[in-house]
Amino acid sequence: MNANIDNRKFSFSKERIDRLPIPDRRTYYFDTKVPGLALSITPTGRKSFYFIRWLNGKTAFAKLENGGYPAMTPEQARAAVTRLNGEAATGIDPVEVRREQRAEMTLLEAFERWIEHGKQHKRSWEQDQATYRRYLEGWGNRKLSRLTRRAITDWHRATGERHGLYAANAALRLLRALLNWIIRAYDLKLGNPAAGIPLLPEQKRETWIDPATMPRLLAAIEGDQNPDMRDFFLLCLLTGARRGNVQAMRWADVDLSGGCWTVPGSEHKTKRPITIPLSTPVLAILQARQAFHGGKGYVFPSSSASGHLEEPKAAWKRVLTRAGLEGLRIHDLRHTAASWLANQGVPLTLIGAALGHTQTSTTSRYAHLAVDPVRQALERSGNAIMATRNPPAEVIPLPPTSRNDRHR
């Protein structure tokens, strides 16, 4: 508290509180009607009522339970602090008593507070609710003070055996986050018994976009504000190439008349050149880009140090938000291409050739494959993917854009 504390004392009312400015740092105001009542305002504009008391030779602040403004009114805050002042006058520290009482709340009560908080601050609160109901509801009546590391470890292992490793780890992450939040938000005198419990070892999971989800993803990609990003994501999806190779694609390596793209060995993971046949949808995209860019240098030119597209994550996040999807990586477009090839009945050897899976153990199987069968496989897969659009659409020619706007 600074020297101008008198300027921050007034009789709390809704009208006065609503007119208070947003500060550069947390600022406290003090009620002149009830001693010990303060109002905190943060730089984000959040306002909360606090109880102030003299503790161990210094001023201590404790947020009132459910003390966020305007959910709690000035009148309700005064009544709460008046009760606390009465308890403090008897020699009891009311804040400490309530802290101990809150430690006796049940897991269900803690979760209900978590969800109320999540509805305002967490996009995935509905997923949290579903995870709790499926895996944690049986623990709803357990008191937080009675939760132990041993019990949580046993529950985590049993959940993995019953529902699978991913589900068990998701439930443990939720429990850990819930306990961290409730202990911090309510100043509980508890440690987090779920902290440090190791996750069950998960096998690497390949994520792909199924036929039911593909229309949403395509609509989000094709509706992106940046045509460069639209084309980049479509090429990743339709060729199954690694994103780094698509980013560094050069016109000199693209043969539009022959329908092939050769990735130089210097730019491929295996250090060996690979040839990727180009399906009709891919050729249409590249032809439109060539007409606009002139067909020299990089297919995705940029003002970056490398000269080509560097970091598409911001645009990808924009696409996922528009599509209503979470947890999908750009690399999963490659997994999707392989999965759609498999769903079209393409043999695994052709899938390996189409995606450039040329590891030593598999190269011999791919070496004899001609380009044409692989081209046909990618043609079927590309057409199947693009056919999910509703309604079917043609590739839209690139509108004029400035060089600085291409990679936003």
Q: Supply angle C-alpha 29, 31, 32, rounded to 5.
A: 130
The answer to whether 227 and 399 have CB atoms below 8 angstroms apart is yes
What pLDDT does 113 receive?
Answer: 87
Nearest-angstrom CA–CA distance, 382 and 239: 8
Per the DSSP assignment, residues forming a β-bridge with 55 are 58
Where does residue 139 fall: left (phi above 0), alpha (psi -120 to 50 degrees), or beta otherwise?
Answer: alpha
Residue 400 has pLDDT above 70, yes or no: no
Average pLDDT value for residue range 16-32: 92
What pLDDT does 39 receive?
Answer: 95
Average pLDDT value for residue range 273-294: 93
Q: Over the stretch 152-162, which tens digit does the pLDDT of each residue have?
A: 999 999 999 98
Residue 180 has pLDDT above 80, yes or no: yes
What pLDDT does 385 receive?
Answer: 86
What is the CATH architecture assignment of 214-405?
Orthogonal Bundle (1.10)
Say if 3-97 and 214-405 have the same CATH topology.
no
CATH number assigned to the domain covering 3-97: 3.30.160.390
What pLDDT does 327 receive?
Answer: 77
Contacts by residues 182-188 (CB-CB < 8 Å, ≥ 24 positions apart) = 182/110, 182/113, 182/114, 182/144, 185/113, 185/117, 186/65, 186/99, 186/102, 186/113, 187/62, 187/63, 187/95, 187/99, 188/99, 188/102, 188/103, 188/144
Residue 239 has pLDDT above 80, yes or no: yes
Highest mean pLDDT pick, 292-296, 316-320, 397-401, 403-407: 316-320
- Name which residue leads in pLDDT, 381 or 95: 381
Tally of CB atoms within 10 A around 9: 11
Q: Over the stretch 365-379, which tens digit does the pLDDT of each residue have?
A: 323 334 555 677 788
User: Domain-by-domain residue ranges, the chain?
Assistant: 3-97, 107-185, 214-405
Q: Supply angle C-alpha 398, 399, 405, rounded to 5.
A: 100
User: Among 282, 198, 189, 290, which residue's Cα sits nearest to residue 233?
Assistant: 282
Q: How confident is the model at residue 361 (pLDDT cuts 50, 70, 90)?
A: very low
Q: Over the stretch 65-82, which tens digit does the pLDDT of each residue have?
A: 777 899 899 999 999 899
Per the DSSP assignment, residues forming a β-bridge with 263 are 274
Q: How confident is the model at residue 150 (pLDDT cuts 50, 70, 90)?
A: very high
Residue 259 has pLDDT above 90, yes or no: yes
Pair of tokens at residue 311: 């970091």
Tell me the pTM.
0.44
Scan for tokens 């908080």, then name that residue.
117
- Name which residue leads in pLDDT, 233 or 362: 233
- The mean pLDDT value of the chain amounts to 83
User: Among 228, 402, 210, which residue's Cα sits nearest to residue 318?
Assistant: 228
Average pLDDT value for residue range 23-30: 91
What pLDDT does 203 receive?
Answer: 64
Pair of tokens at residue 34: 């009830």
- Name which residue leads in pLDDT, 53 or 95: 53
Residue 199 has phi, psi (to 5 degrees) of: -70, 155
Residue 56 has pLDDT above 70, yes or no: no
Nearest-angstrom CA–CA distance, 217 and 198: 34
Residue 357 has pLDDT above 80, yes or no: no
